[in-house]
Structure formats: C-alpha cells, structure tokens
C-alpha cells in the first residue's frame, strides 16, 4: 500500500511502514504542510493493525535539516513568528506521536540530521545511521536552543558534558562517534545501510508487537518513575503480556525448538 502526499511518502509492505521525508532539495526540512502530512501518516500507521513497525527516513542525501528556514521572517520589517506556537502545534506533537506509537520506530538516518531533524531522529526507538550521516544541534548557529526534546534526550543519552558541548558548539557529530557515545543504536557502512534497516525492520515486524509496545512504555517511563513505581508498571504489563497469544506461542515454540510465529496479539 502506498499513500500519496506532496512532501512525504508512506509505503506499507509486509507489516513495515516506511515514511520518507521527501523534500530533498531542502534536505527534507519541515514546513507546515509536511508536518500535517507526517501527522496524518503517523495516525494511519498507529491505527493499522497490520502495520507492526515504522521506518522513518529521508529522501536524497539528507535525513532532515529541521525547520525550513525559508519559511521564517528575516527582514527587519517582517513580523516575528511565535516559535513557541510552532513547537506547540507541530514539533512537540510529532515527538510525542513517535514516542507513544505502540509499535517500534526505526530512525533510518541516511544523511545529515540537523536542528529539529536531529532530535526527531533521537525520538525514534532504534536509530540506525549510515556512516556518512551526521547529527548537528544546529540551533545555536541561528540564535536558538535545541527543541523537539533535544534538551531531554541528549543529557540522558550522552550525559550533560557532551550534551552541553553539542548544544553550545553546534558541531557536526559523525554517525560513528554518535554510536560510540551511545547516542544511537548502530552506525553501518553506507553500502550496508538499506539492507541493515530492512533486516531490522523485518525482524521487528515479525516480533511480539504488544510486548514491544509495553517495552517502549516501560523504558520511556523509567526516568520519571521511582524504583517501586517501575516495578509496579513491569508487574502490570507482564501480567497483561502473560495473557497474550504471542507469549503462549513464544513458549510453545521454545519448547518445540522451532521459530515462533508471532501475530502481534
């Protein structure tokens, strides 16, 4: 199934939805229309039971360069934009939608990810980057600060010292270093990038989708919970999963020494 949009593509095949940001001439930076299309596509993916994993990637040589700056006021006579409104209406809901999607999201970072583009990549559950890709907290270069939860993700993932350096200096962080720092899951050679993303996507698409949803919830809640609250959450989710068809199948397959056939239920 392919859904037509102007600035993105959404292709769904064998349980894998691939959402491609598709404004390569502007390094897939966001304008309002692209935000609206992405929101629509994420709702489609969320509501389609047959879709069990989402791959988010970019067309051309970039992943996403954040906000399309040509949409912004520059002349002294221009009325300044309310950037808080833009975050309220678009960037915040996008990050929340990715995090709360009850299926795994692979950030397939094919090229440069800058500004909000870098942090949207970090909002994905598993980030795989091509070796030629890079991450840039470009905001301070234009007088802004990281948004799209960059100030939330960065210190958690790489610690406050590196988070601060990345945000203040806005230097390009190569994919290889991003992997070494623990910012992303894997950096792979460009020649192996597409095949690696496809293989991980297929693995997740044939996995226990309900368990994946509960894993996402638990890992993303951990930072805010006490030990006791986290143990309670694990108990409640494990109780639910213990009644699932996939758990029954997983144990049966283990005992029979065969591969499980998970249905996601």
**Chain residues in the site for ligand T3D (CB under 6 A):** 26-27, 29, 65-70, 72, 83, 86-87, 91, 112, 114-116, 136, 138-139, 142, 144, 147
Q: Please, which residue, 145 or 180, has the CB nearer to ligand T3D?
A: 145
Return the structure tokens found at 236: 């409640």
State in angstroms the smallest separation of the CB of 115 from ligand T3D.
3
Rounded to whole angstroms, how far apart are CA atoms 149 and 122? 9
Q: Please, which residue, 76 or 80, has the CB nearer to ligand T3D?
A: 80
State in angstroms the smallest separation of the CB of 251 from ligand T3D.
46
State in angstroms the smallest separation of the CB of 121 from ligand T3D.
12
State in angstroms the smallest separation of the CB of 55 from ligand T3D.
21
Measured at the CA of 241, the angle between CA 185 and CA 236, to 5 degrees, comes to: 95
Question: Whose CB is nearest to ligand T3D?
Answer: 66
Identify whether the C-beta of residue 250 lies closer than 8 Å to the C-beta of residue 262: yes
Q: Please, which residue, 87 or 233, has the CB nearer to ligand T3D?
A: 87
Q: Please, which residue, 57 or 67, has the CB nearer to ligand T3D?
A: 67
DSSP 106-118: EEEE-SEEETHHH
Rounded to whole angstroms, how far apart are CA atoms 139 and 118? 11
Phi, psi of 122 (to 5 degrees): -70, -20
Phi, psi of 261 (to 5 degrees): -110, 85
């Amino acid at each position: 199934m392919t859904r037509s949009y102007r600035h993105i593509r959404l292709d769904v095949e064998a349980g894998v939805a691939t959402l491609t940001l598709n404004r390569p001439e502007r390094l897939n930076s966001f304008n309002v229309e692209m935000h609206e299309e992405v929101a629509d596509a994420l709702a489609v993916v969320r509501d389609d039971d047959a879709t069990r994993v989402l791959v988010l990637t970019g067309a051309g040589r970039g992943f996403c360069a954040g906000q399309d700056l040509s949409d912004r006021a520059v002349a002294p006579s221009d009325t300044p934009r309310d950037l808080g409104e833009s975050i309220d209406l678009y960037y915040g809901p996008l990050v929340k939608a990715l995090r709360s999607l009850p299926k795994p999201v692979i950030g397939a970072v094919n090229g440069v990810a800058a500004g909000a583009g870098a942090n949207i990549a970090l909002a994905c559950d598993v980030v795989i980057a091509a070796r030629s890709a890079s991450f840039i907290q470009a905001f301070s270069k234009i007088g802004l600060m990281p948004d799209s939860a960059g100030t939330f993700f960065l210190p958690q993932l790489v610690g406050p010292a590196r988070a601060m350096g990345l945000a203040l200096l806005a230097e390009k962080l190569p994919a290889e270093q991003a992997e070494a720092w623990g910012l992303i899951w894997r950096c792979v050679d460009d020649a192996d990038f597409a095949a690696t993303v496809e293989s991980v996507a297929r693995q997740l698409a044939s996995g226990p989708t309900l368990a994946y949803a509960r894993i996402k919830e638990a890992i993303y809640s951990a930072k805010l919970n006490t030990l006791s609250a986290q143990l309670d959450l694990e108990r409640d989710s494990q109780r639910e999963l213990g009644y699932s068809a996939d758990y029954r199948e997983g144990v049966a397959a283990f005992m029979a020494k065969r591969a499980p056939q998970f249905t996601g239920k």
